[in-house]
Amino acid sequence: MAKRITPRTLKGFRDYLPQDMIPRREMIRTIEQTFGRHGFSPLDTPTLEYAEILTGKYGDEGDKLLYQFADHGERQVAMRYDLTVPLARVVAQHRGALPVPFRRYHIAPVWRADKPQRGRFREFMQCDVDIVGAAGPMADAEVLGTGLSILRDLGVKGARIHLNHRGLLAALLGFAGVNDDGQQLLALRAIDKWDKVGEAGVRKELAAAVGLEAEAIDRLMTAFSTVGDSGAATLDALEALVGPGEAIDRLREVLGLLQAAGFADGVTIDPTIARGLDYYTGVIYETRLTDDKVSSMGAVMSGGRYDGLIGMFGKTEVPAVGISLGLDRLLAALRELGLVTAASHGATAFVTVFNAAARADAMRVASELRAGGIATEVSTLEGKLAKQFRRADKRGCTLAVVVGPDDVQAGTVVVKHLGRGEQHQVARAALAAEVSKLLAD
């Protein structure tokens, strides 16, 4: 006798049942429409890459989270950690075949051996847009505006992008007396944990892991607390500390472009944003939901400029900037905010089977509805009509269609609105059109 196997999922992974998949697919459709409306084209890449493609791009801590193994050909491979490094490989490999600038979107799962927690899984879906080949602030503003448009299209009202610049962070670290490149990199990784461990935790790590003196940490915290009532005021205050520079000029220009596009209220200058991945070079950002119900979930959308990454795969440096939305975390937040309703079925019409003799007629009616563009389920479990109605209602269908013996002779069907209990006799010749009207009411 075969050993009984306990059904279970790996920790950090999960099944997506229909009540999860239906709103998830709807969400992806909305996101794809927004991406397309902003002029981005789709791209896909393999789940597996050669390990050398991915390693060394995410920092020491990121590399530890890669799923790596030797395949059957003894090749060292790794599962996709994000969608940005595969994009860099694609651009370097196919550069002659791609338009310049290259505007792409990519919606696909990624894998990280991270510690599972609320809203965070080891397998999750990312939705990215990137502009490759454009170095100016217009590209920065375009990806930020696209990200904010997605949230608007999904019905999110309380969301803010926290915007910073790696150059400004370097200047702030210099202001605190941290000028060594290696020490600055360690400090950035410590600062990147701000939203997880808070100021006290960052202070502790800056002292223990980075080796900063208390005076240097105090100066840095003073800089981080220098925030005005607006983005422009914050930049003025920071400039007073570190002096003028390219990073502050770029942030001012991006803010102005976002204001021109109607997004000024959705952006905050936040000098504590560090983005721990090693490949970021310019503007960096994280998007957080402001509603108290979901504010503890952390960033739902983040990214930045990475002008040096693609050059690691070729001889030429190529500027690039992008933003990535974590679909599963955002979907969990939308559920808590009441912006996503559970759905267990994709059909809106349910064709009942009156009796065994009516099976063929039920199939014909279902085919007519489907040909008219109406998502339709035909009953595969027969029995009393009342029981079929209850089954249809439980599955989330709006209408039930009955094809009785008298209806076949008269060339009609009965359409029952399950929510309102109303019944309508409809001519078969106009069935799809009449059902569409009833669904629209």
The domain spanning residue 19 has which CATH number?
A: 3.30.930.10
Question: Do 243 and 362 fall within a single domain?
Answer: no
Query: Within this chain, do residues 56 and 141 fall inside the same structural domain, yes or no?
Result: yes
One domain, residues 295 and 185 = no
Residue 370: inside a domain:
yes
* Residues 338 and 226 grouped into a single domain: no
**Domain-embedded: residue 314:** yes
Domain assignment of residue 151, yes or no: yes
Residues 324, 183 share a domain: no
Claim to verify: residue 66 and residue 121 sit in the same structural domain: yes
Whether residue 353 is found in the same domain as residue 301: no
Q: Is 5 within the bounds of a domain?
A: no
Domain presence at residue 265:
yes
Give the number of domains in the chain: 3
pTM listed for this prediction: 0.87
Per-residue pLDDT of the chain (441 residues; tens, 9 = 90+): 678 999 999 999 999 888 888 889 999 999 999 999 999 999 999 999 999 999 998 888 889 999 999 999 999 999 999 999 999 999 999 988 999 999 999 999 999 998 887 667 899 999 999 999 999 999 999 999 999 999 999 999 888 899 999 999 999 888 888 888 788 888 888 888 887 788 888 888 888 877 888 888 888 888 888 766 678 889 999 999 899 999 999 999 999 999 999 997 889 999 989 886 778 999 999 998 888 787 777 889 999 999 999 999 988 899 999 999 989 888 888 888 888 866 656 789 999 999 998 999 999 999 999 999 999 999 999 899 999 999 999 888 999 999 988 888 888 999 999 989 899 899 998 899 989 988 887
My answer on whether 103 and 62 are in the same domain is yes
Map the chain to HEC letters.
CCCCCCCCCCCCCCCCCHHHHHHHHHHHHHHHHHHHHCCCEECCCCCEEEHHHHCCCCHHHHHHCCCEEECCCCCEEEECCCCHHHHHHHHHHHHHHCCCCEEEEEEEEEECCCCCECCECCEEEEEEEEEECCCCHHHHHHHHHHHHHHHHHCCCCCEEEEEEEHHHHHHHHHHCCCCCHHHHHHHHHHHCCHHHHHHHHHHHHHHHCCCCCHHHHHHHHHHHCCCCCCHHHHHHHHHHHHCCCHHHHHHHHHHHHHHHCCCHHHEEECCCCCCCCCCCCCEEEEEEECCCCCHHHCEEEEEEECCCCHHHHCCCCCCEEEEEEEHHHHHHHHHHCCCCCCCCCCCCEEECCCCHHHHHHHHHHHHHHHHCCCCEEECCCCCCHHHHHHHHHHCCCCEEEECCHHHHHHCEEEEEECCCCCEEEEEHHHHHHHHHHHHHC
Do residues 16 and 152 both lie within one domain?
yes
Choose the final residue of a domain: 277, 303, 322. 277
Q: Is 193 within the bounds of a domain? A: yes
| Same domain assignment for residues 113 and 212 | no
Same domain, 148 and 170: no
Q: Which domain holds residue 328?
A: 11-158+290-342
**What does the alpha-carbon distance between residue 130 and residue 104 come to, in Å, rounded to a whole number?**
6
Query: Of the candidates 298, 315, 342, which is a domain's last residue?
Result: 342
189 and 141 both lie in a single domain: no
